[in-house]
């Protein structure tokens, strides 16, 4: 018998994944057995640079950041995970035998995920067309997000990127440190402070 916390987490995940691509009750009942509920304290890492990632982590509750580290030790935020159902993983690492993760994932608050091995996730896709459809929709969403992120850096000013951040991450803007936001925008914290003053946000 599943614990109530696991059942609640699975129900949350089913709702968010079904919004992306419908999953029938029989397929979901089978898939449930492959998921494990995991919690992490603030400041923990789901995985680090150089780790061989084997799992998909689906966010249930909390906030995390993806970040790279340069050779000099400077950190660059790649993305944030804040919505239930958000997939956290390194696609290159899970899908390619000799690849390791080029980035880290750190929790910024107490963090709860449902994890499933990439091997099991793919096996479900081979067995069930609707699960394979789900996997394709997840990959499509990741590709679109990556393309938009690249376009933002090429086409938008720092202020425009900040305005887009406020729109995309309105739920976390007040709780994420400004230096994390500046890193995500590709600017210094001083430059972000100047933009915020121009917008009368400070």
| pLDDT single digits (tens) 46-60 | 999 999 999 999 999
Residue with tokens 């994932």: 105
For the chain, the structural domain boundaries read 4-124
pTM above 0.85, yes or no: yes
| Backbone phi and psi for residue 167, each to the nearest 5 degrees, phi listed first | -75, -45
CATH topology for 4-124? Answer: Jelly Rolls (2.60.120)
Look up residue 103 and give its DSSP letter.
Answer: S
Please say whether the dihedral angle defined by the alpha carbons of residues 44, 83, 67 and 181, taken in this order, is positive or negative.
negative
Distance CA 91, CA 167 (A): 26
Distance CA 19, CA 17 (A): 5
Over residues 141-158, mean pLDDT: 94
Which pair of structure tokens corresponds to residue 188?
Answer: 């210094």
Category of 110 on φ-ψ map: left (φ > 0), alpha (ψ -120 to 50) or beta? beta
Contacts of 161 (CB under 8 A, 6+ apart): 152, 153, 185, 186
Residue with tokens 């992490």: 40
Q: Where does the pLDDT of residue 128 fall: very low under 50, low under 70, confident under 90, or very high at 90 and above?
A: very high
Which pair of structure tokens corresponds to residue 181?
Answer: 């936001």
pLDDT surpasses 80 at 2: no
Which pair of structure tokens corresponds to residue 63?
Answer: 């906030």
Distance CA 114, CA 109 (A): 16
Q: Where does the pLDDT of residue 113 fall: very low under 50, low under 70, confident under 90, or very high at 90 and above?
A: very high
């Amino acid at each position: 018998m599943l614990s109530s916390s696991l059942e609640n987490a699975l129900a949350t995940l089913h709702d968010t994944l079904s919004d992306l691509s419908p999953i029938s009750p029989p397929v979901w009942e089978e898939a449930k057995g492959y998921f494990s509920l995991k919690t992490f304290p603030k400041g923990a890492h789901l995985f680090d640079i150089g780790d061989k990632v084997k799992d998909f982590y689906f966010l249930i509750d909390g906030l995390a950041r993806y970040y790279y580290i340069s050779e000099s030790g400077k950190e660059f935020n790649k993305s944030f995970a804040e919505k239930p159902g958000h997939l956290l993983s390194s696609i290159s690492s899970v899908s390619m035998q000799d690849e390791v993760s080029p980035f880290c994932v750190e929790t910024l608050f107490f963090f709860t995920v449902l994890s499933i091995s990439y091997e099991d996730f793919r096996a479900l896709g081979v067995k069930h067309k609707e699960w394979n459809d789900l996997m394709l929709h997840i990959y499509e969403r990741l590709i679109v997000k990556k393309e938009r992120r690249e376009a933002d850096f090429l086409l938008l000013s720092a202020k425009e990127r900040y305005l887009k951040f406020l729109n995309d991450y309105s739920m976390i803007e007040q709780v994420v440190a400004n230096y994390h936001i500046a890193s995500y925008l590709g600017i210094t914290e001083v430059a972000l402070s100047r933009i915020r003053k121009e917008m009368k946000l400070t």
